[in-house]
Every structure is written in structure tokens, then in C-alpha cells.
Amino acid sequence: MTPDDLEDFASRYTAAWCSQDAARVAAFFAENGSLTINAGEPAVGRAAITEAAQGFMTAFPDMVVAMDSLGRAGGRVTYHWTLTGTNTGPGGTGNAVRISGYEAWRFGPDGLIAESWGHFDAADYERQLTMGTPSAR
């Protein structure tokens, strides 16, 4: 994948996360692709990835994801992002959240994500959910 193709792919992936349509996110993954968040149990296959994405979209109906940067490391593409939103979904705290993280992608021969390993600071995320947004960073 050329740098321009990768930039386009990542831009469209970002738009999918902002769309409130979790199936659009899953469409960027190979049929049996996987998404692992913070070393948890991987979501394998598009239905499971749709469910994982939907969890964030439901919790944050006003969620916006911004692409911060793209890079390459160890044969993977690193996609750095920042999520902002208000936790007003069912059972939400009403608190605004701003959290940054990354995904490390391995692409399959079909040009889709075969494996994604994602990470964000879970402690900071929980603190923002329960105590409110962080002070200016």
C-alpha cells in the first residue's frame, strides 16, 4: 500500500468511527480479521468487530475520532487517534471524555486489516468517566 493509499484508508477508517455506523468500521477488516483492545479478548470477524465498535458508539452518541498520525513499525502500520465524546448513552455518566490511543495494524493480502492491536490509557478513561474531563492538557 502506497503512503497516499494508506492515508486515504486511514481517513476513511476515521470517518467510519465518526459515522455512528459500526458496520462501516468492521468493513475495513478482513472477513476473519481481529480487533484487540488493551490486550483484552480479541473481537474476531466482522460481526464481533461491529459489536465492539457499537459499544463505543452507544456510550458516546456524539463521539468524534480524529486521526493524529500514521506510522510504520515492525511491519505494522500505527494509527494514532483521539476520541472525544460525552458519555450520554444508556447508563452513562454524562461526563465528557478525551482519550488518545493507537492501533497497530497488520494488513492481509486483500488490503484490509487482518489484525489490529489497540491501546489507550484505561485508567485515565475510567477517571474521566467517573470524575469528569481532564483539565487542559
Distance of alpha carbon 26 from its chain centroid, rounded?
A: 11
Note down pLDDT in tens along the chain; length 137 residues: 888 999 999 999 999 999 999 999 999 999 999 999 999 999 999 999 999 999 999 999 999 999 999 999 888 999 999 999 999 999 999 999 999 999 999 999 999 999 999 999 999 999 999 986 554 33
Burial class (CB in 10 A: 0-12, 13-18, 19+), 110: exposed
User: What pLDDT is attached to residue 36?
Assistant: 97
Cell of 82: 483521539
**Rounded to two decimals, what is the model's pTM?**
0.92
The CATH label, of 3.40.50.410, 3.30.950.10, 3.10.450.50, 3.30.300.30, for the domain at 3-131 is 3.10.450.50
Query: How is the chain split into domains, by residue range?
Result: 3-131
User: What pLDDT is attached to residue 1?
Assistant: 82
